[in-house]
Amino acid sequence: MSLKYQIGAIGWYNFETLVQTLLKSVIGPGVTSFGGTKDGGRDAAFDGAASFPSEQTKWDGHWVFQVKYVDLERGTRAARTQVKNTFRKEFQSILARRKQKALPDNYILITDVPLTGNNRDDLATFVQESGFRGNFRAIDGNEVCEFLDLFPQVRRSYPQLLGLADLDSILNRDLYVRSEAFVLDWQPRLSTFVRTEAYGEALTTLRSHHFVVLDGPPEAGKSTIAAALALLRAADGYEVIDVQGPDQVFRIYKPDQSQLFVADDAVGSVSFDPSLTDNWSRALRGILRKLNAKHLLIWTARSYVLEEAIAESRLGEAIRDFPGIHEVLVEVGKLSEFQKAEILYNHAKQAHLSEASRVLIRENASKIARHPDFTPERVRQLVENVLPSEADSSRGEEETISWEDVDQFLKDPGTRWVQAYRSLSASEQTLLTAILDFNAGVTFSGLRRAYDLRSKQLSYPRLDFNECVSRLQHSFLRVVAFYTTEYVDFQHPSLRDMLLSQLRGDELARRRYIQLASPVGLSNLIRGIALSLRGEEEEDHVLLPGDNEELSILLERLAEVSSGVLPVSDWHAILSATDLLLPRDSSKRKLPPADVNLLSFNKSWAGKVVEAVVRAFGCQETFERNQRYSLAGWTMLLEKYYDLAVYLAPPPRAEFLPNLALSLASAEPEDGIAFATLIQHSEPLIISQTVSNQLLASWDSYTRDELEELIEAGENSPTWDEEDDYDSFI
């Protein structure tokens, strides 16, 4: 007999605190707390009348509650036998201890084990034959699950139940199918979830503002809290969607459907991604206007990545408008020693460790919980990838692990991952390197192309792509689904950090990577140069050329890549990364700062990259190869281009602007206004030749209509970014 919620899998402590919370809802707030020991005689008490077992049949007097948790892993039949045997002993002990006191009026046994009718009859007969004349009731696992349905507010405090529950039975079928990708990825992992203050704060923030940003250091558990919030809402009828960028929010948004959007590592995985951040900066105002009680948004971000994104882009301004960064930001990472012990216990329970590993955990649990380098992710890796399992023991492959080994892993988990990486075949290492060409999850087809391109350098025989993925899945890689498409990504961003560190230390491998870098890979290399020139700590999370020769390789690859047909997103990634090479004090620039020596700048690494990107993008061939770009797409790219071009002497002009301006008359008014506003500063002659008085009048009419609609809706700004420039243009 299966339970709707597999409550037995959450462990004895969580089950007993769950029951305590339920009793306060079912019986009343006067139920006293349990003790702090793990013996079978732990009691809770209540005095008074309560609507139990029903509103019509109320019990009154002195109540005693006994919780009996039994691990169901050995089978339901064995668990029922254990409940009966231990209850008999403990009930007799309780009666004996109370000889000098009055017996309770009501005695309730609560267990996670599903009981049969015969089980209940046996327990009731035993209680009666023991001389107890009060009311007795056994509440089994199925009834506990029913209480969770009756009191959903309790379920919100224990999202790990949803990680263990069969959500297919909780959600309607259509909703389950639409949220299935997220559910299948996160449902098994939430069994180790531990409630923290950050989770409670995030729950409140999401309810109040419909938007929450989970911010914290690497490995702190941001993604897990996001998943807990998401599955909680899934059980409340929300469609849960894992999005890679704001465009997916707009594309999937359904006004009449309850939806929750999760953007994990929203502004960059291990370092600030300027193109991704720029997309969110442009779209966030519009998205925030769409958020309400039925449409929710969750971000996660590493602290240093979010700080740089806010400093280097318009993101801070976009978030600050509504509801304010201080209102939606929840810091993740502060854990009490007890919460750390819970995390360790939950992971160890789920991992099916060998007996030697369980002994090691028991003997050193307090030292692990107090370890200065404790993080939830490191504990997960310790239990899943370092400590031997029962399977290892049965195969005779159990490795001897000591406390010293555990201590060293917690201090420096990267060492073990480096050893594992170096033991991989050349094909497997090549596949991992290929993933660096993508900032987030990559489709199987995209990764296959990158792998095939890079694996041509390998001496045969090389491993088949599917075999490579299969070997690396569940260790280095994970496969997740977004609607009907599957994506491959690192198990954790820290593995990307590790791989970058290996390339930084291997000149030959680094050069091979640069020679075949994708547009996204090139943008990451350019960002690495920018961070290096600034001397910032985040340099550890990126890769950059090691010398002038490798810089030349990068520039050659840039010319090669730019000569092809690229998506708007690829050019945006390259231009946005190159923008970081410009002096920091010129974020809102029309001209270079006065103290910048352009001659010296152009001779520097930064200047050489800027010139290469500007020349590559501004040529007529770029326009001819990419005519499918929308006018809005060209405007977004040209905004970055103009910021870069002023650093060349003399500043070049995009060769294709006259041809592009011819499309203004047929463009959507908002797109035409944005384009004309942008280029009027550098190309006023083109505007005067292509924007007629009739077109200008139509734009003016459109603008007034838009402003009236915004005022009626309670908004106070146009939907485009450069309203001041537009006013001057008109």
pLDDT, position 237: 84
Encoded amino acid at 68, one letter: K
Q: Average of pLDDT values for 4-19?
A: 82
Q: Average of pLDDT values for 373-385?
A: 88
What is the band of 1 on the pLDDT scale with cuts at 50, 70, 90? low
Measured CA distances, 697 to 65, 158, 718 (Å) = 78, 59, 18
- The CA R_g of the chain, rounded to the nearest whole Å, is 31
- 87-112 pLDDT tens trace: 988 888 777 776 656 788 999 999 99
Encoded amino acid at 635, one letter: T
Q: Are 674 and 720 in contact (CB under 8 A)?
A: yes
Q: Which range is most confident: 266-275, 474-483, 522-531? A: 522-531
Q: Average of pLDDT values for 663-677?
A: 88
Q: Inform me whether the pLDDT recorded for 191 exceeds 90.
A: no
Lowest-pLDDT range, 7-16, 370-379, 467-476, 620-629?
7-16
pLDDT, position 723: 42
- 344-353 pLDDT tens trace: 988 888 888 8
Q: Inform me whether the pLDDT recorded for 728 exceeds 50.
A: no
Task: Give the global pTM.
Answer: 0.72
Q: Inform me whether the pLDDT recorded for 290 exceeds 60.
A: yes
- Cα separation, 341 vs 335, in Å, equals 10
Q: Inform me whether the pLDDT recorded for 714 exceeds 60.
A: no
In a domain, 60, yes or no: yes
Cis amide linkage into residue 593, ω under 30° from 0: no
In a domain, 361, yes or no: yes
| 94 and 64 part of one domain | yes
Beta bridge partners of 608: none
Q: Are 4 and 170 in contact (CB under 8 A)?
A: yes
Burial track 586-621 (b if 16+ CB lie within 10 A, e otherwise): eeebeebeeeeeeeebeeebbbbbbbbbbebbbbee
In a domain, 268, yes or no: yes
Q: Average of pLDDT values for 480-496?
A: 79
pLDDT, position 361: 92
Measured CA distances, 439 to 269, 300, 452, 569 (Å) = 7, 15, 19, 12
Q: If we measure between CA atoms, which residue out of 622, 616, 597, 621 comes closest to residue 607?
A: 597
What is the dihedral sign for C-alpha 75, 78, 84, 88?
negative
- Cα separation, 462 vs 188, in Å, equals 34
- 520-546 pLDDT tens trace: 999 999 989 988 887 765 566 788 999
Q: Average of pLDDT values for 107-129?
A: 93
| 182 and 313 part of one domain | yes
The last residue of one of the domains, among 299, 314, 331, is: 331
| 168 and 292 part of one domain | yes
**Torsions phi, psi for 52 (to 5 deg):** -145, 135
In a domain, 458, yes or no: no
| 638 and 675 part of one domain | no
Q: Average of pLDDT values for 571-597?
A: 76
Q: Inform me whether the pLDDT recorded for 263 exceeds 50.
A: yes
Q: Which range is most confident: 143-157, 170-184, 299-313? A: 143-157
In a domain, 675, yes or no: yes
| 208 and 300 part of one domain | yes
- Cα separation, 276 vs 298, in Å, equals 16
DSSP count for the chain of H helices, then E strands? 38, 14
The last residue of one of the domains, among 302, 331, 360, is: 331
What is the dihedral sign for C-alpha 101, 106, 112, 114?
positive
| 630 and 666 part of one domain | no
Q: Are 384 and 347 in contact (CB under 8 A)?
A: yes
- 610-664 pLDDT tens trace: 999 999 999 999 999 998 899 989 999 998 999 899 888 888 889 999 989 888 8
Number of domains observed in the structure of the chain:
5
| 266 and 218 part of one domain | yes
pLDDT, position 541: 76
pLDDT, position 312: 61
pLDDT, position 720: 40
Mean confidence (pLDDT) of the chain: 83
Q: Are 369 and 252 in contact (CB under 8 A)?
A: no
In a domain, 486, yes or no: no
Q: Which range is most confident: 175-184, 427-436, 585-594, 718-727? A: 427-436
Q: Are 376 and 332 in contact (CB under 8 A)?
A: no
| 243 and 184 part of one domain | yes
What is the band of 584 on the pLDDT scale with cuts at 50, 70, 90? low
Which residue range is the domain that position 267 belongs to?
Answer: 159-331
Q: Are 64 and 45 in contact (CB under 8 A)?
A: yes
In a domain, 644, yes or no: yes
pLDDT, position 206: 92
In a domain, 418, yes or no: no
Q: Inform me whether the pLDDT recorded for 23 exceeds 90.
A: yes
| 180 and 76 part of one domain | no
Residue % of the chain over a pLDDT of 90: 30
| 121 and 11 part of one domain | yes
| 294 and 372 part of one domain | no
- 601-610 pLDDT tens trace: 889 999 999 9
| 103 and 186 part of one domain | no
Burial track 419-429 (b if 16+ CB lie within 10 A, e otherwise): eebeebeebbb
What is the dihedral sign for C-alpha 566, 568, 573, 575?
positive
What is the band of 721 on the pLDDT scale with cuts at 50, 70, 90? very low
The last residue of one of the domains, among 129, 153, 177, is: 153
